Amino acid sequence: MSSLHDLRAPGRGPSVAQVLVLVLEGDVVLSQGGCDVRARQDDLLLFDDRSPFTARSSARSLLAAAHVDGARLAPRPEATAGPLPRHIDGRAPLGALVASIVRTVLSLQHHVDERALRRLGAAVLDMLALSVTSPEPRSRAIGPDRPGLLTDIVHYMRAHMADQRLGPDSVADAFRIAPRTLSRLFAADGTTFMRALWQIRLTTAHTGLQDGRFASVTDAALICGFSNPAHFSRTFKEAFGYAPIVLKLKRRPRT
């Protein structure tokens, strides 16, 4: 199991001892309190490590785990109420967004400073709280003729945009369609997969910087799927005609 940056306040132990697990590869069955919960790749599990539990996984499974500060997890009491363990579907929009940012934290934890990791961790906690209080069902229907398929694919791309490995092959595989079918869907809409992905990432970054949701240009770059903030700034300027720092400066209070 890979260790992950703890999602809790500096210098304090979690008031509710919970553990968040992301299944990176394979699957795992977590047993606790007479309840068995199975999670597959990209799914998440939330459980209380103060109670006895067992975890069974296949030999090829790879997991990432982080301690979670229950006090920060619960903007509403119901976020931590109810039985644990909990399964969070990695294909549902909120679950997918949590999973993608956790992957980003995992890949960057040895390359960015503690403050940036704390901000990313806070974003994970906010979305995790939403995902456990507002579970989002997803359609079980699959196939290239499913109504609204392109809309579902775009929602999936938005949820996974932080994952730098996101591409036409992985998305086609997630929806069980051929890459050629995926290309035809976007062509019928007058665009391409990569063009749509860049637009999603850049417009999300622009909106987040404009409304103050992103604390910095670096945060916007990482959360929106850019590994290099300098490349992000150049691409942003090419798309909008000005650098992303301009939006941050506009929001600073004048003295």
Give me the DSSP letters along 93-148.
HHHHHHHHHHHHHHHHTTTS-HHHHHHHHHHHHHHHHHHHHS--------STT-TT
Q: Give pLDDT, residue 235.
A: 93
**Token couple for 200:** 């999603």
Q: Which of 98, 113, 118, 94 is nearest to 6 (CA)?
A: 118
DSSP classification of residue 78: G
Q: What is the pLDDT of residues 34-56, one digit of tens each?
A: 777 778 888 888 888 777 888 88
Tell me the HSE value of 58 on the side-chain side, using a 13 A CA sphere: 11
pTM, rounded to two decimals = 0.50
Structure confidence by residue, pLDDT tens digits, 144-169: 556 578 888 998 888 888 888 889 99
Compute the residue count for the chain: 255
pLDDT tens digits for 101-126?
788 777 777 777 777 777 777 777 77
Of 48, 46, 128, nearest to 92 by C-alpha is 128
Helix (H) or strand (E) holding 65: strand 62-69
Segment 233-252, tens digit of pLDDT: 999 999 999 999 998 777 65
Contact 189, 150 (CB under 8 A): yes
Q: Measured between alpha carbons, how far is 13 from 134 in angstroms, rounded to an integer?
A: 27
Amino acid letter, 158: R
Residues 35 and 53: their CA atoms lie apart, in Å, by 10
> In the structure, what pLDDT confidence band is assigned to residue 81 with cuts at 50, 70 and 90?
very low
Give 199-211 pLDDT, tens digit per residue. 999 999 999 898 8
